């Protein structure tokens, strides 16, 4: 039985079993995939390091693009899945790759991403594999971080950010903060997302500023409703303020976030919508992009003190 094929007639218990088996298989394979990328990096199979010049000041898109629940809503019902990415890329110029969190990508995977947009100007943000963030939890992972960085070298001008997401159980300690920042490759555009509110504090902000690391602001349940800026770039993930992945943001809610982004003084903003469960993400992302255009964010000053933008209400 193919555990990856969606079936409407499969019960909840069976779906959970399939998901557990799939996750176990992915985690077992990630160690070997990471080792292959390590060897590829040592063999110099990437094109080499170079700075990525980005044309835009605001990149707005979705956290992933291949969702069965989007069929008949964002994707036309009769459109074959082979055309889904093209349809997405006709409306957005960036995507946050989530599959890389569950399954460490191969070099072939990354080269496919590189070719996928064709001649379009398109940028990827890559979510770092859970082997680093959830399994090892930054325990002696410096080599793994360097190996994963080969993805950025292959993507070249299509590379946006590396997103490191930590689990909700991962509470703030100064030791953990030092461990994270000491193992990141600070020549990359690194974003760190925490899911425990203890990380929203000035000790973390100050350390991130000093290293140039981007603190990920979140619209999510039980997380501080603030826009934090610790670098020239700001990064915002829209999960849903009360329920994970299911909230349909109103124009008023998005306008408030757009105003905060404009007032942050950042040179560049990355905004990704992860409220994909009921297909709200694409529509919300298009609205946010329009609102940012209306605020004139691309004309925002480039030199402003790094700060935390609190809610207006």
User: What residue spans of the chain are helical by DSSP H?
Assistant: 12-42, 84-89, 99-102, 107-115, 130, 142-148, 150-155, 174-183, 202-211, 251-263, 281-295
Q: Dump pLDDT digits (tens) for 96-143.
A: 999 999 999 999 999 999 999 999 999 999 999 999 999 999 999 999
Confidence band (pLDDT; 50, 70, 90) for 184?
Answer: very high
**Where along the chain do its domains lie?**
58-309
Q: How buried is residue 80: exposed, middle or buried, by Cβ count under 10 Å (0-12/13-18/19+)?
A: exposed
Q: In terms of pLDDT, which residue wins out, 144 or 55?
A: 144
Nearest-10 crossing angle of helices 174-183, 202-211? 20
Q: Which of 124, 125, 104, 103 is nearest to 115 (CA)?
A: 124
Place of tokens 């459109």: 79
The mean per-residue pLDDT over the stretch 224-235 comes to 97
Q: What is the pLDDT of residue 298?
A: 62
What's the average model confidence in pLDDT over 199-214? 98
CB-based contacts of 53, cutoff 8 Å, min separation 6: 157
Residue 194 pLDDT > 90: yes
Q: What is the mean pLDDT of residues 60-74?
A: 94
Q: In the structure encoding, which two tokens stand for residue 203, read together?
A: 């000790």
Round to the nearest angstrom and report the end-to-end CA distance of the chain: 52
pLDDT single digits (tens) 138-174:
999 999 999 999 999 999 999 999 999 999 999 999 9
CATH topology of domain 58-309: TIM Barrel (3.20.20)
What integer pLDDT is reported at residue 306 of this predicted model? Answer: 42
Distance (Å, rounded) from C-alpha 218 to C-alpha 256? 14
Identify the CA nearest to 190 among candidates 173, 169, 215: 215
Write down the pLDDT at residue 213: 98
Tell me the percentage of the chain whose pLDDT exceeds 70.
90
Judged by average pLDDT, the poorest of 73-87, 149-163, 208-222, 297-311 is 297-311
pLDDT of 2 above 90 = no
For the stretch 273-297, pLDDT in tens is 998 888 899 999 999 999 999 988 8
pLDDT of residue 16: 83
pLDDT of the residue at 1: 30
């Amino acid at each position: 039985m193919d555990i990856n094929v969606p079936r409407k007639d499969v019960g909840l218990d069976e779906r959970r079993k399939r998901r557990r088996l799939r996750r176990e298989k992915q985690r077992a394979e990630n160690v070997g995939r990471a080792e292959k990328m390590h060897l590829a990096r040592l063999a110099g199979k990437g094109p080499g390091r170079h700075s990525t010049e980005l044309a835009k000041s605001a990149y707005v898109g979705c956290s992933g693009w291949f969702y069965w629940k989007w069929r008949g809503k964002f994707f036309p019902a009769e459109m074959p899945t082979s055309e889904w990415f093209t349809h997405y890329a006709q409306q957005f110029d960036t995507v946050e790759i989530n599959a890389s969190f569950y399954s460490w990508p191969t070099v072939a995977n990354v080269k496919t991403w590189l070719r996928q947009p064709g001649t379009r100007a398109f940028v990827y943000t890559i979510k770092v594999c859970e082997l680093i963030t959830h399994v090892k939890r930054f325990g002696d992972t410096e080599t793994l971080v360097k190996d994963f960085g080969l993805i950025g070298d292959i993507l070249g001008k299509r590379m946006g950010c590396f997103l490191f997401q930590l689990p909700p159980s991962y509470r703030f300690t100064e030791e953990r903060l030092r461990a994270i920042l000491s193992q990141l490759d600070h020549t990359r555009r690194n974003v760190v997302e925490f899911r425990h509110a203890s990380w929203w504090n000035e000790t973390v902000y100050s350390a991130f500023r000093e290293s140039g690391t981007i603190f990920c602001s979140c619209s999510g349940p039980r997380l501080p409703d603030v826009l934090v800026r610790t670098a020239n770039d700001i990064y915002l993930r829209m999960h849903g303020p009360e329920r994970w992945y299911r909230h349909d943001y109103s124009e008023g809610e998005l306008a408030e976030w757009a105003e905060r982004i404009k007032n942050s003084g950042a040179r560049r903003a990355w905004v990704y919508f992860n409220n994909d469960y009921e297909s709200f993400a694409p529509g919300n992302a298009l609205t946010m992009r329009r609102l940012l255009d209306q605020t004139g964010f691309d004309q925002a000053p480039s030199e402003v003190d790094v700060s935390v933008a609190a809610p207006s209400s």
